[in-house]
């Protein structure tokens, strides 16, 4: 779960060259496109010549060639991030120019490996040899004038199979995929290796670490307790954690704000986590480490993803239910949904069929993510599941086996705008629907793990993709389906 952030933001991480981790992409301001005459003029300018030279070197995938270009023409850039971006994106295609001056150029790029669009802005030095001063790339929602071509369900699933086979052959995907509609399986497949050293193949029953996807279980558990009259969304945290050390957090942050990442409670990852990773074995251990910390901002004034907020909700579940977080979700979520291969057993416990996560290192080598993992998953994420269990959770939720209709709708309906992408954050769910059409769900991503669950309430589709590779391995596949199913 380390550095786990929402999937809508995770998409952005491999596109930016200089940004704070977890910062959301700007919205698509949809500036005008250059006219044909303006494009011709832009092509004759120094900014376009430098941009074209960079794009050619970048798309080549040749480390030495790109390194030589950066050294000569963009000395402030770092080669490793550029190569990582190249490996993940497959390169870029220039789709449109939006602005051009004597020293700058802006426009749209599309990834070769996905449907993702990015807006780039290049600035060059005014004097010869016009070296690149900066080149930013920021993920944007797909522009309306680049619509996805219509496809039938059969065509979508056939293309999905082709994409998965290509991505696996290129070592960009390893994991499992399950697509259903109204309970009927439309597509299932497992690809790559769960253990590269022992050559153990992934299967549909392989347990993958799911990162922040656990947040859906935590939020569902909280709503169960609300539905049962055992807590209120408007109550402050301190009503339940009566001995919480920081009084500002205890008295000002509500359950609603913790569920929506608007409480200002901050994250759990960073130097403190790295220093104490092996000591954090229970939720109370996290509270002991971070409980004296103050608020990052006034609760309710903005949205900022907070893993610690979800840890606090886990502690609330324990206090109100009288059970450990793990026992509660097992009894009240996993069992009713029929999820028999989902859990959060400690990393030092043998869990049959649990895949090893692999991180990409410099030079393209894969290495196990073992030294980045928490001792045990928490209410913020870090557990494990299968694509089948994720679909079972979705079906149980939408059939009101976990919550009644009113509270199910309350759980999944967006409440807070998330910067960039046009989605809203609900309670532990991302709501990407427009006029009722589209999906709800949550992703998870960290070194050596990536997953996505997408539920389409209107059309009945459910998509579960889990991978034991770095983001965006699963996300790219899920996004392909999200753009095409149920629209």
Model confidence pLDDT, tens digit, residues 268-287? 999 999 999 999 999 999 99
Contact 188, 177 (CB under 8 A): yes
Average pLDDT estimate for 67-89: 93
Looking at residue 35, the DSSP 8-state letter turns out to be P
Examine the pLDDT at 24 and tell me if it is beyond 50. Answer: no
- Percent of the chain with pLDDT strictly greater than 70: 92
Q: Which tokens go with 218?
A: 């935590």
Average pLDDT estimate for 379-383: 95
pLDDT digits (tens, 9 = 90+) for 93-119: 999 999 999 999 999 999 998 899 999
Distance in angstroms between the alpha carbons of the first and the last residue of the chain: 32
Q: Which residue has the higher pLDDT, 427 or 85?
A: 427
Residue 362's pLDDT is 66
When pLDDT is cut at 50, 70 and 90, the band that residue 30 belongs to is low
Q: Which tokens go with 468?
A: 């034991």
Residue 403's pLDDT is 98
Helix, coil or strand: residue 218: helix
Contact 53, 46 (CB under 8 A): no
Instruction: Return d(Cα 456, Cα 448) in angstroms, integer.
Output: 27
Instruction: Return d(Cα 46, Cα 484) in angstroms, integer.
Output: 39
Which residues neighbour 352 within 8 Å (Cβ) at sequence distance 6 or greater?
none
Residue 8's pLDDT is 35
* All domains in the chain, ordered by first residue: 29-140 (3.10.450.50), 150-487 (3.40.710.10)
Instruction: Return d(Cα 71, Cα 76) in angstroms, integer.
Output: 8
Instruction: Return d(Cα 156, Cα 180) in angstroms, integer.
Output: 13
Of these residues, 89, 116, 212, 385, which one is catalytic? 212
Residue 28's pLDDT is 46
210-246 burial: b if 16+ Cβ within 10 Å, else e: bbbbbbbbbbbbbbbbbbeeebebeebbbbbbeebeb
Omega of the bond leading into 420 within 30 degrees of 0 (cis):
no
Instruction: Return d(Cα 239, Cα 312) in angstroms, integer.
Output: 13
Contact 308, 286 (CB under 8 A): yes
pTM over 0.95: no
When pLDDT is cut at 50, 70 and 90, the band that residue 9 belongs to is very low
Count CB-CB contacts under 10 A for residue 420. Answer: 20
Q: Which tokens go with 267?
A: 């994250």
- Among 80-89, 218-227, 318-327, whose mean pLDDT is lowest? 80-89
Pick from 27, 16, 28, 21: nearest CA to 6: 21
Residue 21's pLDDT is 25
Examine the pLDDT at 487 and tell me if it is beyond 80. Answer: no
Examine the pLDDT at 83 and tell me if it is beyond 80. Answer: yes
Instruction: Return d(Cα 351, Cα 402) in angstroms, integer.
Output: 26
When pLDDT is cut at 50, 70 and 90, the band that residue 363 belongs to is low
Residue 22's pLDDT is 29
Residue 6's pLDDT is 38
pLDDT digits (tens, 9 = 90+) for 137-178: 998 888 988 999 899 999 999 999 999 999 999 999 999 999
4 is catalytic: no
pLDDT digits (tens, 9 = 90+) for 233-250: 999 999 999 999 999 999
User: Whose structure tokens read 């427009």?
Assistant: 434
Name the β-bridge partners of 441: 430, 454
């Amino acid at each position: 779960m380390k550095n786990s952030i929402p999937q809508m933001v995770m998409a952005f991480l491999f596109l930016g060259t200089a940004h704070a981790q977890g910062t959301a992409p700007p919205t698509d301001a949809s500036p005008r496109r250059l006219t044909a005459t303006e494009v011709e003029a832009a092509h004759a300018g120094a900014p376009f010549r430098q941009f074209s030279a960079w794009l050619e070197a970048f798309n080549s995938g040749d480390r030495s060639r790109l390194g030589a270009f950066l050294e000569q023409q963009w000395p402030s850039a770092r080669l490793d991030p550029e190569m990582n971006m190249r490996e993940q994106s497959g390169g870029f295609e220039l789709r449109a120019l939006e602005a051009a001056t004597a020293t700058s150029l802006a426009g749209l790029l599309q990834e070769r490996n996905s449907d993702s669009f990015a807006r780039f802005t290049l600035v060059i030095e005014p004097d010869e040899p016009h070296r690149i001063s900066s080149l930013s790339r920021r993920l944007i929602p797909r522009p309306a004038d680049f619509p996805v071509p219509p496809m039938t369900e059969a065509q979508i699933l056939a293309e999905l199979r082709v994409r998965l086979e290509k991505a696996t052959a290129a070592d960009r995907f390893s994991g499992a995929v399950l697509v259903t509609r109204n309970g009927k399986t439309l597509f299932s497949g497992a690809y790559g290796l769960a253990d590269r050293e022992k050559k153990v193949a992934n299967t549909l029953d392989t347990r993958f670490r799911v990162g922040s996807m656990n947040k859906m279980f935590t939020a569902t558990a909280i709503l169960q307790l609300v539905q049962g009259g055992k807590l209120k969304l408007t109550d402050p945290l301190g009503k339940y954690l009566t001995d919480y050390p920081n009084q500002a957090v205890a008295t000002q942050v509500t359950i609603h704000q913790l569920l929506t990442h608007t409480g200002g409670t901050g994250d759990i990852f960073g130097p403190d986590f790295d220093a104490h990773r092996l000591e954090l074995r229970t939720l109370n251990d996290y509270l002991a480490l971070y409980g004296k910390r103050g608020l990052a901002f006034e609760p309710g004034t903005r949205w900022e993803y907070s893993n610690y907020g979800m840890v606090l909700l886990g502690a609330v579940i324990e206090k109100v239910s009288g059970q450990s977080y793990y026992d509660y979700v097992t009894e009240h979520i996993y069992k009713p949904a029929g999820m028999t291969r989902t859990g959060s057993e400690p990393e030092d416990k043998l869990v049959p069929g649990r895949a090893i996560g692999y991180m990409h290192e410099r030079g393209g080598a894969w290495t196990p993510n073992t030294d980045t993992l928490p001792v045990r998953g928490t209410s913020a994420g870090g557990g494990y599941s299968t694509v089948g269990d994720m679909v079972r959770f979705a079906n149980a939720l939408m059939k009101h086996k976990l919550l009644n209709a009113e509270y199910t709708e309350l759980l999944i309906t967006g409440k807070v705008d998330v910067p960039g992408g046009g989605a809203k954050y609900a309670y532990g769910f991302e709501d990407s629907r427009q006029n009722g059409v589209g999906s709800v769900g949550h992703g998870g991503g960290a070194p050596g793990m990536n997953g996505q669950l997408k539920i389409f309430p209107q059309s009945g589709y459910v998509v579960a993709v889990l991978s034991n590779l770095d983001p965006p391995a699963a996300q790219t596949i899920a996004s392909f389906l999200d753009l095409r199913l149920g629209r």
